Amino acid sequence: MGRKFHYFLILLATLIIISTTIVLFYFGWDYYSLPLKERFFHPNHDLLKSSGLLGHGLGIVGTLMMVIGVAVYIIRKRVKRFHRLGKLKHWLEFHIFLTLLGPILVLFHTAFRFGGIVSISFWCMVAVVLSGIIGRFIYLQIPRSIEGNELSQDEMSKLNIKLKFELKEKYKLESSLISSLDENSINQKNEIRISQIVKILIIDIIETRKKLSEIKKYLRSHNVPSHREKEIIKISKSKLLLTRKILLLKTTQKLFGYWHVFHLPFAIVMLVIMVVHVVVALMFGYKWIF
């Protein structure tokens, strides 16, 4: 998959999520904003209520999206037979798309009515989505290959050397500037505490911008062509990000482990109650259009 096509798919997925949310709010806001006692008299009540044609359909589609999103990613990640079937990071992005859009559809399926045991499933779903966003951020802090697999210490060291060599031999960047890319405000002697990670990331992001700005000034003062400047800045940025990720590796791995402990139980509770909800709905004859 080409980079431009990949970015296009991410943009398309983002637009689908945003536009779907806006359209559903626009179409049903006057119904959803009514008190429960007055909704029965709304002309779209039979369409938008949880058991209505659209409301019920949104619940079915949203549930299927979440189940498929979770299942395909777990299968691709855990079953060796499927390890060569596309890059893991692309499957993760597909998982994120379905598990973001699915809960939005389920939210409109509820018609913003939360009660009983189903409300536990809903709030577990909210916790899963929010923790999933946090988990994605932590995931990005761990150095990975282009396929999305976690890099070993040896692989990270080789990549680090390769980037330095490229800047020095191919682009003839000064040794002092290359050395500055290895300098970092993060204490390399002691393991970073989890409570410090956000503060350190903010400081390092600011420092990264300063260093890249210094390199830009140097390149422009030496009349380096713009296309070559962009290449050098891109490699320098990759080098700085890799250095940060290596230094924070132990902390982010530990944090990712804690995240799994939090994320998984909520997902399991959500899925179990969801299955119970579906079975009960079928027993009471709510079969939508079937």
What tokens were used for 164? 């330095």
Report the C-alpha gap between 122 and 274 in whole angstroms.
9
What pLDDT was estimated at residue 62? 93
Q: What is the 3-state secondary structure (H, E, C) of the chain?
A: CCHHHHHHHHHHHHHHHHHHHHHHHHHHHHHHCCCHHHHCCCCCHHHHCCCCHHHHHHHHHHHHHHHHHHHHHHHHHHCHHHCCCCCHHHHHHHHHHHHHHHHHHHHHHCCCCCCHHHHHHHHHHHHHHHHHHHHHHHHHCCCECCCCCECCHHHHHHHHHHHHHHHHHHCCCCHHHHHHCCCCCCCCCCCCCHHHHHHHHHHHHHHHHHHHHHHHHHHHHCCCCHHHHHHHHHHHHHHHHHHHHHHCHHHHHHHHHHHHHHHHHHHHHHHHHHHHHHHHHHHCCCCCCC
Cα 80 to chain centroid, rounded: 23
What pLDDT was estimated at residue 44? 93
Low-confidence ranges of the chain (pLDDT < 70): 1, 145-148, 184-191
Q: What is the pTM of this model?
A: 0.76
What pLDDT was estimated at residue 260? 81
Report the C-alpha gap between 100 and 115 in whole angstroms.
22
Q: Quick one: which of 97, 77, 115, 74 has its CA closest to 9? A: 97
What pLDDT was estimated at residue 184? 64
What pLDDT was estimated at residue 187? 52
Which residues lie closer than 8 Å to 244 by C-beta, 6 or more apart? 184, 186, 201, 204, 208
CB 228 within 8 Å of CB 171: yes
CB 148 within 8 Å of CB 87: yes
What pLDDT was estimated at residue 36? 86
What pLDDT was estimated at residue 264? 85
Residue type, 247: L
What pLDDT was estimated at residue 122? 82
Dump pLDDT digits (tens) for 112-137: 887 777 788 888 888 888 888 888 88
What pLDDT was estimated at residue 101? 94
What pLDDT was estimated at residue 259? 85
Radius of gyration for the chain, computed over Cα atoms and rounded to the nearest angstrom: 24
Q: Where are the domains of the chain?
A: 3-147+254-283, 153-247
What pLDDT was estimated at residue 55? 92
What pLDDT was estimated at residue 115? 74
Report the C-alpha gap between 100 and 94 in whole angstroms.
10
